[in-house]
Structure 1
Amino acid sequence: MLKDNKTFSSFSVNDLARAREFYGKTLGLNIHDDEKMPNLLNLEINKDNVILIYPKPNHVPATFTILNFNVQNVEQTVDELTSRGVKFIIYNDENFKTNEKGILAGNDQGPTIAWFNDPAGNILSVIQSGN
């Protein structure tokens, strides 16, 4: 029943204009109004991967990572995004520490990764592909 239907992911924000600016200009992604559903945005990662962004007046930021961007080099990506005004999250927990740039170095427990927030407070990451 469901396996043959088109599926997509979505997440909420509290301000569509700020989301459009952040995802489109700051991150440099393709973002546009949804043609079939008014007042919604499509974040087009590629032609087969479109994520719906919708406004929610009582939006509460996700407490988990909503988008992971697989990149070749996390450090270079963090430097580029930082130059565009993105602020990376610094974790300093006893067993979970990032460096001063917000990068958690990869090891046998996981990949190299860095997290940041969108203007609505949702958590995103850049994660090293290992390729």
Structure 2
Amino acid sequence: MVAIERAFGGMSVRDVPEAVRFWRETIGLQVDDGDIARVHLPGGGTVILYPKADHEPAGFTVLNLVVADVGRAVQELAAAGLQPQRYPGMPQDDDGAMRGRGPDIAWFTDPSGNVFSVLTD
């Protein structure tokens, strides 16, 4: 077996300073600046944000943020100018959240178009 010391995730962005501002100021996470920025996640994980000239958003949710109340999180993100993603055929309520089919969850995009969610655990 490989002796793994730690792990982290990463996602490409079209503009690192823009991504740093978003994750720090809009979402409220601690972010270290740099050519490759590091987002510190609650619980000890990290995600790196790296520039990619021909960036295309991932076709899946790149980060899930666990919250106590999805409805409240959706309202707070709306107050910050974000709107939930709506997916055809998904049973989302007026807030844009899907409830009662596993954890309550709502999806959003960052400035680079990467999808992240807020969900209950």
TM-score for both structures, normalised by structure 2: 0.91
- In structure 1, distance between residues paired with 2:43 and 2:118: 20
Aligned residues: 121
Amino acid at match of 1:44: H
* Number of the residue aligned with 1:92: 88
CA deviation after TM superposition for structure 1 residue 47, in Å: 6.8
1: distance between equivalents of 2:41 and 2:114?
Answer: 17
Residue 119 of structure 1 is matched in structure 2 by 111
* Residue of structure 1 in register with 2:99 after alignment: 105
Q: Deviations over 1:20-77 (max 9, x none)?
A: 111000001101125xxxx100000147311111000011101100000111110011
Cα distance per residue 1:66-100 (max 9 Å; x no partner): 0001111100111011101111112231xx22122
1:4 to 2:4 alignment: yes
- The two structures, once aligned, show a CA RMSD in angstroms of 1.5
Structure 1: runs of 5+ lacking an equivalent? none
Q: Which amino acid aligns with 1:26?
A: T
2:41 aligned counterpart, secondary structure: strand
Percent identity for Structure 1 against Structure 2: 35
Q: Give the number of the structure whose alpha-carbon radius of gyration is greater.
A: 1
One-letter amino acid matched to 1:20: V
1:41 aligns with 2:37: yes
Which consecutive unaligned segments of at least 5 residues does structure 2 have?
Answer: none
Normalising by the residue count of structure 1, what TM-score does the alignment of the two structures yield?
0.85
SS state at 1:116 partner: strand
Q: Which has the higher strand share?
A: 1
Question: Contact conserved, 2:20 with 2:33, CA < 8 A, in 1?
Answer: no
1:33 and 1:54 map into 2 onto residues whose CA distance is 11
